[in-house]
């Protein structure tokens, strides 16, 4: 069993698949996952009108200590809500300073840019956001399904959510754990 922790940030308008697949895959690998509501602990309406109840508010989650990974699902306006949060920015900058994982999928890499995280690194995002991500030459943009650059993991969108989550497991735990989870879900 992995002795790793992950904090998944949940904001109004998050993409459900990216949120739930990330949580589920990491939990299957034994990673202790906490879901934090950026606006509080009340149910959050996601991009496709699914209501998700966070475990705690982001403010409360931050009092529990540090996390090995912070995971940001995409979705618009979810990513815009994450980008507008000063608490999210502080958390992400601290994760990066401490050399811990920051993981963002779909529109969520724009949150990294909004908060000044990961500059100079290789990244990817939802394809229509490429121009916004390369503007200002802050990142080296790639078009792979999942891009890993040190402790920064990014991915493209809902269709790459399993690849993204399994890569988080591989990087945080090991390749064997990722393969075991993938086989159990009939992905390998």
Q: What is the pLDDT of residues 88-106, one digit of tens each?
A: 999 999 999 999 999 999 9
- In the structure encoding, which two tokens stand for residue 107, read together? 């529109």
Phi–psi pair at 104, nearest 5 degrees? -140, 135
Judge whether 75 and 107 are in contact, CB under 8 Å. Answer: yes
| Per-residue pLDDT, 2 | 56
Q: What is the pLDDT of residues 37-77, one digit of tens each?
A: 999 999 999 999 999 999 999 999 999 989 999 999 999 99
Contacts of 109 (CB under 8 A, 6+ apart): 123, 124, 125, 129, 133, 139, 154
CA dist 56 and 41 (Å) reads 5
Mean pLDDT of 160-178: 98
**pLDDT greater than 90 at residue 141:** yes
Q: What is the pTM of this model?
A: 0.97
Phi–psi pair at 186, nearest 5 degrees? 65, 35
| Per-residue pLDDT, 72 | 98
What topology is assigned to 5-183 in CATH? Rossmann fold (3.40.50)
Average confidence score pLDDT of the chain: 97
- In the structure encoding, which two tokens stand for residue 119, read together? 């500059």
CA dist 181 and 187 (Å) reads 8
Q: What is the pLDDT of residues 1-21, one digit of tens each?
A: 459 999 999 999 999 999 999
Judge whether 133 and 110 are in contact, CB under 8 Å. Answer: yes
Residue 53 C-alpha from the chain's centroid: 17
Break the chain into its structural domains and give their ranges: 5-183
The closest of 155, 163, 170 to 187, measured between CA atoms, is 163
């Amino acid at each position: 069993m992995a002795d790793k922790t992950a904090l998944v940030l949940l904001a109004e308008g998050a993409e459900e698949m990216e949120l739930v697949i990330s949580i589920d895959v990491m939990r299957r690998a034994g990673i202790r996952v906490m879901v934090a509501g950026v606006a509080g602990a009340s149910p959050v309406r996601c991009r496709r009108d699914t209501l998700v109840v966070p475990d705690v508010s982001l403010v409360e989650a931050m009092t529990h200590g540090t996390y090995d990974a912070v995971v940001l699902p995409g979705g618009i306006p979810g990513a815009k809500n994450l980008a507008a949060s000063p608490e999210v920015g502080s958390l992400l900058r601290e994760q990066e300073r401490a050399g811990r994982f920051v993981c963002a999928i779909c529109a969520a890499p724009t949150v990294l840019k909004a908060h000044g995280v990961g500059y100079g690194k290789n990244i990817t995002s939802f394809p229509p956001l490429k121009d916004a991500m390369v503007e200002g030459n802050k990142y080296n943009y790639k078009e792979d399904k999942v891009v890993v650059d040190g402790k920064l993991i990014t991915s493209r969108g809902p269709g790459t959510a399993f690849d993204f989550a399994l890569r988080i497991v591989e990087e945080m735990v090991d390749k064997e754990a990722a393969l075991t989870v993938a086989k159990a879900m009939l992905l390998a």
